Amino acid sequence: VYRLHGRYHEMAPNVVPMDYTKDPDVKLPMQLIINMPELKENPFKERIVESFSEDGGGSLSFNDFVDMFSVLSEMAPRELKAIYAFKIYDFNTDNFICKSDLEKTLNKLTREELTAEEITLVCEKVIEEADMDGDGKLGFADFENMISKAPDFLSTFHIRI
Amino acid sequence: MSRSRPPSVTLRVPEDTESDGQEPSPDSEGALHTSFHQLIQEQSSLVEAGLELEMQARGREHPARLDPPDACAAAWPEPGQGEQHPGYSSASLRILASMPSRTIGRSRGAIISQYYNRTARLRRRSSRPPLQHLCRTARPSLRQYDLETDPARATLEDKRSLLVKELLSLSPGQRSHMLLTVPLSLAEKRTLRQELSGQRGAPRQHRVPSSPCGWSKDDIALSCRGLWYRLLSLLPAAQPWHYALKQIGGRFGSSVLSYFLFLKTLLMFNIVPLLILLVFVVALQAAYPPASASPRPFTGLELLTGAGYFTHSLLYYGYYSNATLNDPCASSPNGSACPLAAPPLPYNMPLAYVFSVGVSFLITCVLLVYSMSRSFGESYRVGSSTGDLAARVFSAWDFKVVQRRSVKLQSKNICTQLKELLAEQRSRSRSLSLCQRLGHCAVLLLAWALALGTVLGCVLAVRYLSEHMHAVQQGHRARGSGQRWQEAVPLVLPLVVSLLNALMPHLYNLLALWERQDSPVARLYVAICRNLLLKMVVLGLLCYQWLSRRVVCSAEECWETCVGQDLYRFMVMDFIFTLLDTFFGELVWRLILEKRLKRKQRPEFDIARNVLQLIYGQTLTWLGVLFAPLLPAVQMLKLLLLFYIKKTSLMQNCRSPSKPWQASHMSTVFVTLLCFPSFLGAAVFLSYTIWSVRPSDTCGPFRGLETIYKSGKTWVQVLERSNPNIGWLAWAHQHLLQDTFLLFLVSGVLLAVTYFNVQVVRGQRRIIRLLKEQIANEGEDKIFLIQKLHAVYEQRERRA
């Protein structure tokens, strides 16, 4: 935790206090956090910071910062990671991964190198495979079920700090 | 976004319904969902003033008629957004917006009530309430719920206290697991923990008089765990290579990282036998050196050949004495009587030797099986035959990758992967003609025949070479040529074997290019199969030659030391050739590509080939532990050097792999390969040596005995004679280890357990299928109910 505090402090040394016993209310804005070397090149960095921020706007207090890296660490249990992964991939925050969310995800993953037709095909296939109750969207139960079949999820959804 | 709206549109519904009048923040309690809030506002803004009063009057009836959303239902999805169903009234939209599927995971209260239900279910699973207390009229799935204490209506503080109460009734392990998995922020978890410890303090005061020392089991468990974490944080050395691995993962991704993690695992596997042998065998023999050694001068060639100075040293089997150490009688001249009493702590060297080797193999076996079962558990799932594409899309992005160039490469990889998957699915729908299929089969058969032919050719070559080398060595010995020449000749065989091991994989790669398999995964498996076959068959031939001693080491008196030396030479040659392979395969190839062919692409890091090389080296170590007890130390040194060399070469010369690589799946495959052909073969070799081979007469701890196993047997007999009370040990030894009945019994039990597990898995698959059907049915039910609800509201409006 000291290491994390060091990293948090060095992002804005004049704002973040070294002493946290008085529980100060300091929040760092999103712009500073997404410039961290671990997150800078990640296409989902804005979504990651937004899902961990208390007010939904993207500024993280130290607690949120620790939360974020603890969920993304090796020791976090699979269910917790699945919950936050679902939040990250849900771009319009309606608690479902609908077709537009999927399209946005795919565009970010491939830097828009797939043609529109291919993207539609992939989205349809994904929804067809994962949607169990036939509503055309992925709810959290569908997502978790699908993630449990992906053994790589635990190792890829992991940032070392 | 076209919306057909009926003229009598619903208007601003009065503010006194329950879930109303609050800000649409995702974290506020019982809030309307944001996406619906906007919709409702839009609809209400097109108000017609005349109908307003009437709606207000009817609105007061609504709360009474609204059925509360079923809090016990799981997260049911909603049939399309409100825009797609324009006819839905604002009131029904309001109901839909407060459904659990919209609020779960969003508001703190919903999360707490969800986890309250989960912990309550956990508690109830362990203690079922008696049947008389269950309500008969409720649905079977609802009977176990206390609907009165359903927390969906309570305030945040009430919900929190309910959750704390439930958590207190769990065991500490379950409690900490539950706290870990709750997706609340750290501040919330801290308050929960504080409430937990506060509540626990009160009942503890009642318990203190009963237990004298005042420590409960929870306290001990918690304090142990706290101590362990503090220890871990203080020891940076407990995480060796942390930064190096982070660098590698950041630049090349999880696939290349898995090679280095495998190397680290092998290092750990070697520590155990090394420690055991060091403590029980090597150190004690070093303290009591045998008198007979005549040391030869140390020349540099020893490091390569393992002979010369090293022959009569701790490194090999021949050095170890066959008597009890620290026995003063043994060092006195032969024939004279021994007036001194027996030593206080006799240390029987032969027993120590055979038991240490046996125990280290047993511990390695247990560790291997444990790690294999753990990675199996992580990578295989029941009923996971479909759902490839979806799972791969969501777990494709490796969050560890940090550098810009690698990130671009990763995007391109994912793009290629998806295109390949789509192409594969398109081609699967298109079936090949019969002629094409036959042609493809013929090519496959030919390629396999070629591969097997090369393996056979290599084996024969090795056999003839070893016979030839033996003849050459006899000739040299007869002629009495120089010492150096005699020591260089045995190096030829290891050199040739390592050369074959290094060159044949490239040939197999070419073969695979010609074959043109469809899926990259199949290509990878075929390559691994062929390489492994070659290595294992060559090793098998060598083992046969060592044990039968018709060709190799036949002239030596101390054949075990000779075999140990041979294995040492094989290991050193393997290391040298790995270095050469890295040098030529990566550095020189990169220079050629850049300077001569002017291509910007760097060579790829071939993971499968490198991992197989590691497995081969480890097999050699395990084969040689009996004959050269310090071989694990040599292997550990080799692995350490290899880590740094490979890492440097990787950073300078290579790029990340372009083929898709399922990291955890492949790690499982590698650990399985380490266990099955490699460790099992070494264990069989060791058992055969101990049980059936006659040790040499002049050297080593087992000289003069019929087999190594006899030493254990004589010891048991000696024990029995000296102390008749331990007769049961001799009986157990005779009947359990020597009779074959026990073996049959154990294999029978194993088969029964396997059959049982297979049946359980089949049952689970059936249950999964039934549950999926049930989910689909419930989804249809829900759509039906929502449509009915809307129909009811529409009717009411029409009546108005």
* pLDDT digits (tens), chain A, 161 positions: 677 777 777 777 776 666 666 666 777 777 877 888 888 888 888 888 888 887 777 778 877 888 888 888 877 888 888 888 888 888 887 888 888 888 888 888 887 777 888 888 888 888 888 887 777 888 888 888 888 777 778 878 888 77
Q: What pLDDT is stored for residue A88 in this prediction?
A: 87
Q: What is the largest CA-CA distance in chain B?
A: 129
Q: Scanning every residue of chain B, which has its alpha carbon at the shortest distance from the alpha carbon of A88?
A: B394
| B402 DSSP 8-state letter | -
β-strand partners of A97:
A138
> Does B277 have pLDDT greater than 70?
yes
Candidates B75, B399, B422; nearest CB to A158: B399
> Does B148 have pLDDT greater than 50?
no
Q: What pLDDT is stored for residue B461 in this prediction?
A: 92
pLDDT tens string B355-376:
899 999 999 999 999 998 888 8
Distance between CA atoms of B99 and B762, rounded to whole angstroms? 36
| A97 DSSP 8-state letter | B
Candidates A94, A110, A154; nearest CB to B411: A110
Distance between CA atoms of A5 and A2, rounded to whole angstroms? 5
Nearest alpha-carbon partner for B611 in B255, B241, B368: B255
Nearest alpha-carbon partner for B306 in B546, B576, B490: B490
> Does the model's pTM come out above 0.90?
no
Candidates A94, A105, A153; nearest CB to B35: A94
Q: What is the ipTM of this complex?
A: 0.80
Contact B494, B569 (CB under 8 A): yes
Distance between CA atoms of B730 and B717, rounded to whole angstroms? 7
Q: What pLDDT is stored for residue B440 in this prediction?
A: 84
Interface of B with A in 104-133 (CB under 8 A): 104-106
User: Which range among A92-106, B33-47, B187-201, B290-304 has the greatest average pLDDT?
Assistant: A92-106
Q: Scanning every residue of chain B, which has its alpha carbon at the shortest distance from the alpha carbon of A36?
A: B402
Inter-chain CB proximity B402 and A154 less than 8 Å = no
| Å between A150 CA and nearest CA of chain B | 5
Candidates A86, A129, A160; nearest CB to B390: A129
Inter-chain CB proximity B77 and A135 less than 8 Å = yes
β-strand partners of A61:
A27
Q: Report the SS3 class of residue A61.
A: strand
Q: What pLDDT is stored for residue B735 in this prediction?
A: 73
Q: Enumerate the H helices of B141-253 as residue ranges.
A: 156-168, 172-181, 186-207, 217-234, 242-252
Residue with more model confidence, B534 or B207: B534
Q: What pLDDT is stored for residue B455 in this prediction?
A: 92
Total CB pairs under 8 A between chain A and B: 194
Inter-chain CB proximity A152 and B662 less than 8 Å = yes
Nearest alpha-carbon partner for B27 in A96, A139, A53, A85: A53
| Å between A34 CA and nearest CA of chain B | 12
Burial of A23 from C-beta contacts in 10 A (0-12 / 13-18 / 19+): exposed
Average pLDDT, chain B: 73
Inter-chain CB proximity A66 and B186 less than 8 Å = yes
Q: What pLDDT is stored for residue B641 in this prediction?
A: 94
The answer to which of B122-126, B487-491, B780-784 has the lowest mean pLDDT is B122-126
Q: What pLDDT is stored for residue A49 in this prediction?
A: 85
> Does B118 have pLDDT greater than 80?
no
| Å between B194 CA and nearest CA of chain A | 16
| Å between B570 CA and nearest CA of chain A | 36
Tokens of A2: 């000291």
Q: Which domains does chain A have, with CATH numbers?
A: 1-72 (1.10.238.10), 77-160 (1.10.238.10)
For the residues of B308-342, what is the DSSP string, one character each? GGGTTSTTSGGGS-SSEET-HHHHSPTTS---SPP
> Does B182 have pLDDT greater than 80?
no
Q: What pLDDT is stored for residue A65 in this prediction?
A: 82
Phi, psi of A27 (to 5 degrees): -130, 135
| Å between B348 CA and nearest CA of chain A | 47
Q: What pLDDT is stored for residue A82 in this prediction?
A: 86
> Does B689 have pLDDT greater than 80?
yes
Contacts of B258 (CB under 8 A, 6+ apart): B607, B661, B663, B666, B667, B670
Candidates A37, A72, A153; nearest CB to B395: A153
Cα four-point dihedral sign B21, B22, B23, B24: negative
Distance between CA atoms of B120 and B166, rounded to whole angstroms? 6
Q: Which residues in B lie closer than 8 A to residue A122 (C-beta atoms)?
A: 389, 393, 418, 422
User: Chain A within 8 Å of B19 (Cβ-Cβ)?
Assistant: no
pLDDT average, residue stretch B734-750 = 81
User: Chain A within 8 Å of B392 (Cβ-Cβ)?
Assistant: yes
Q: What pLDDT is stored for residue A158 in this prediction?
A: 83
Distance between CA atoms of A142 and A96, rounded to whole angstroms? 10
Tokens of B476: 């040299």
pLDDT average, residue stretch B95-120 = 66
Distance between CA atoms of A156 and A72, rounded to whole angstroms? 10
Residue with more model confidence, B674 or B287: B674
Instruction: Indicate which of B395, B404, B406, B782 best probes the interface with A, i.e. most A CBs within 10 Å of its own CB.
Output: B395
Contacts of B222 (CB under 8 A, 6+ apart): B172
